[in-house]
Structure 1
C-alpha cells in the first residue's frame, strides 16, 4: 500500500538508471493518497518556505512488466505574501488575467479569471531496488487570485493534470521522490523563474510490485505512447572505495598531460618563495579519501542554475614537498583523483521562451589530443600550513588547493514544451578542462581541508555532437547551451579516509556541512565585559561591538562566513596595582576580521571562530605613553618574528542567538608594539587570556543554523 515519508534532498540526487517494460494492464486496487512536501524557494528579494500538496488516486499494487497508471493528480500550494508579490510582478498591480490550460489541456481549478496563474514543474525520481530513474512529469497550471484591494496576503494556487504511466522491471517497493520545483508566471520570461529545492523529506508515495524480473529501474511511458520506454542512462555507484596507489594499479597515477600538470608548475602558480626539498625524494603511497559534494552549476546562456552532486575518490599526499628549513610553516601535497557526478535534471527556458527539460551528466574523461596517454585521473595540489605554532604560510600566503581534470557533458532525457526529444546515446560535448579551486586559510584564519570547504570552478562548454536520431540536433544544443563562463560552486562534505583496517567506516555517507540564515543582512552584535588578563595588570572594556553583513539563504559556505566591517570598544581602561587610566582600542579592519563556522556540536551549538584579529591599545600605561598591539606572533619567517592576526574560538547558541567566546581564548601582545613599550607593566610581549562576561548578542529575528 502507499506510504508517506520523506527523503533528504541529497537522496534526490541519486544516480539514474532506466530499464524497459511493457504495457499490459492497470492494477485494479486503488487508494487515495496525499503528500505534503516542504520546499524552500528563492526569489529576487528573499527565500521563502512553502508546502507543496499533492493528492491523487493511485494503485496500491503493481506487477513487473505491466504499466502502472498514475491517473490524475491535483497540485496546490499557498504562496507567502512576499513571494506572491515577487512572482506576480506586474500582475499584482495590473490585474493580469489568464486561463492557461492544465497539464492535459484542461483548465485547472481556481477563479474563472484568476489574477495569478503559475506554471509549476516538479522533478520526480522513481526509486526501486537500489536503482533510480528520472520521471518526466508534465507542467501544471496553478491558478489563484490576489487581493482585490492590492494588499499583500497569502495566495493559494491549485491545478490538476494527468500523469504518465511507469512500468516496473523488478519486484519490490517502488517509490516516487520529489526533486526540484520550478515556478513561473504564465506568459513570463526566464527572469520570472523561481527555483525551489526540497527542505526536508519529499517522498510522494510508494507502491508494492509483485512478480519476477531483471534488476533494473522502472521505465517511463510518454503520455499517449503505450509502447516506448525511456532511453537508457548510465548506472551510478555511490559506494566509497579506495582509489588505487600507483604501485598497485598503473591506471592510477599523476596525469602527465601538460595542461593538467600546470598546477604543479611553481612559475605559474604561487611558489612558496623558500628553498624546497627535491619532490622526487618525497614520493609516498598517499592516503585514500572519499569525498561527497553538492551544489549548483550555472548554464550562462539559459540564465539558470542546476543542482549537481559529486563523489570524488582522492589519493592525497602521494608527493609531499617540504621546506629545507623545517621551521618554515609550509608543505605542498600533490595527489590525483577521479570524480563521478550524478545526472543533473532541470527545466529551463531555451532561447528565453521554450520550456526545456534536460538531463545532463558531467563525466571525467581522458585528455584530448595532443595527449597520447590513457590515464583518466585529474591532478591535485594543496599548499597548506604544516602547523608550526598555528602560524600562516610564508609571506602571509593563503592556504589554497587546486585541481585540474578534463570533463565532457553528456545529454540524456530531454523534452521541449513537454514533447520528448530523442537525442540518442552519443550526444555530448568534446572534452573541456575543468579547473577547481578552494581557499582554506589566510592571515590568522584557517580551516582543515578535510573538514570540507567551498569548491569553485568556471568551465566552458564546447559544441555538442552526435545528438539526434534521424535529424542532427547538435547545432540546436550548441546554440542554446554551449559557451564560456559557466560557474560551478560545490560544498564538499568532511572527507572520509578509506581504511582496510576499519572496513565499512565510510559506508555511511558524510554530507556537506552548510549554514542557513534567515533573514540575514546588516547586523551589529555587542558583547559585554571584556577582560584581557595580564601579569599583575589588566585591560578591561565595558563592551565591544562588531558590524557585519550576514549572507541570506540556505546551503551557505562556512568559511569565511561573514566579513566584519567595523569593530568598536567602549569604556576601556588599563589597571596596574593602584594605577588606572582610560585607554583607546582601535581595530585594524583591513587585517581580515571575519566570522567562520565549523560544525554543529552534540549540544546543538555551532562551533565557530572570530578570525583576522588585530587591534591597538593606546594610552598611559603607568607612566609609559605607548601603543600595545594585540594579535599573534609568527616566528617561522625568514625575516624573524612578525606580527600576524589572531583568532578566538567561539560557539554560537542558536536558541539564545548568542556568540560566546570560549574559555581558552587568548591573544598575544605582538612585535608590532611601539619600540620601547614592549615591556609595559603587566603586558610584555607574550600570550594573554581573553574573557567575556557576556557574548555577542545577535538580533532576535536572525536565525542561524547548520541543518
Structure 2
C-alpha cells in the first residue's frame, strides 16, 4: 500500500478512557479565586527582540485576555480568552524558508510578573497553534491559545501583571509533510528598548467593593493547599466555596430536590463518596478516602481518574512519593486509521490535574540525604505550564489488541520549604526549575519544547483480563526525566540556585505513576460495578508502586 492513509470516524468505536500524566500544575505565589462584577479587557502590542539562527530580529507580540474587574480576598482570579500573537519580520521568516519549510507549528511561553505590595512571583502563560503556511515573502503571523494559571491574593491591594520574557518553539515541515533538518527551532525573546513603560498587562483591585450578598470577610484560603490524606494521613482539603458536584438524577442536586443556590462551603466531595451499603451482601466496598475530584460542567467525553506513584532523584539516590492526585480529561472521538501494519484505533485528549481548583499536584515532602550525609526535607509542588496531551494508539489485531499511550505535559518543579538537619533554609517564594522538566520525546518534530513524557503499554486479549496499562482500566505509566537548573531560590540577598542545582538537577530520574480506572462523568452509575461515585468522582483509588 502507498500514498496517504484514509482516516475514518466510527460512531461505534467509542473508547471511554482517561489518562494520566504524572505531576502537574501551578500554584503561583498569590493564589486566588475571583468574584467578578465586570470584565477588564487586555489588548497589548509589545515590542520584543528575538534571537533566531540568523541573528536578532524585532518582533511584535500581542497579548489579549480578559480579567475580572475586581476580586475579593482569597478568591480566584482566572484570566480567560487568552491569545498570544507573534509577528515575525521577513528577515526572520528567511530562517524557515532556508529549511524549505512549507508549514510551521508554534508553541509559545510568556513569563508574566505578578506583584502585590511587596510580594513578587512569576507565572507562565503557554499556548499552542495549528500549523500555518510559511509565506514566500513578508511577515509571518503566529497565534496561539491555551490555559493559563489562575491567581489568588490572600491580602487586599492592587494585583499587577507585567509581561516579561517570551519564548517560542517552532516545528517546521516541508511541503510533503516531512520534518526539516533541524526538526525544531527554539527562540528566546526579550523586551525591546522601546518597551519600557509599556509591558503592563492588567491591574486588578483585590478586597474592594465586594458585591452585596458575599461575606465581608471571606474564610481564609491558605497559599499552599494541604497534602492529600492518602499520602500523609492529614485531613483532606475541603472544596473552595462555590464548587459543587455536578447535578445527577436522584441526588440532592438533581431534579425535584434542588440544592440551595449561591456559594456554599462543603459538597458531597467533602463528606466522602456515596457508595453502596458496605454491610449489604454482594455490594462493592466503600471507596477509600481521596481528595475531591469533581468535573465542573461535564460534557459527554469528560473523564477523570486518580494517579499516584514515585519519582526518583538520581543524584540523591532516593524516591519521592507523588501523592494521590485528581486528573480531569476531555477526549476527542476515537478515529480508525488504516496503516500498513493494520487498523489502529486512535484517541486524543487534553487535560490536567485539579488540586483545589489549580492544575498541580498537592504539595509533597521529600526526605533525602544531600551530598550523601545531610538529612534534608523539602516540600515540593509540580506545576503545569502548558496543556497536558494524551495520544492513545490501539492496534486492532484479534485476538490480541496492542495498546500504546503517550502522555505529554510541561511541568516545573517548585520548592516551597527546605530544612537541613531540622534547620529551615529560606528558599524564598519563587524557587523553581528555570524551565520545564524534560524527557526524550519519541516524536520531537510533532512535539517540540521541554516537557515530560510518560508511556503506558498494554494488551487487551479477547476473553482475558487486560495486561499492563489500558486507557480506561489504568495501570502503570513510566518515563525518565532531566531536572533542569533552579532559579529564584534564596531570600535576604542569599542566592541558593547553585546549591539546589548541584544537589538535585540532572538526567536519569525515573518516574512510575499508577493510574486508577477512569470515570466517564456523565455515564449512568452502575451500583454493582462502579467506575464513578454518585456525584461523578472516580470510584477507584490506586496505590503507588515502586
TM-score, normalization by structure 1: 0.29
TM-score, normalization by structure 2: 0.36
Select the structure of larger CA radius of gyration: 1
Higher relative contact order (CA 8 A, sep 6+): 2
Considering fraction of residues, name the structure with more strand: 1
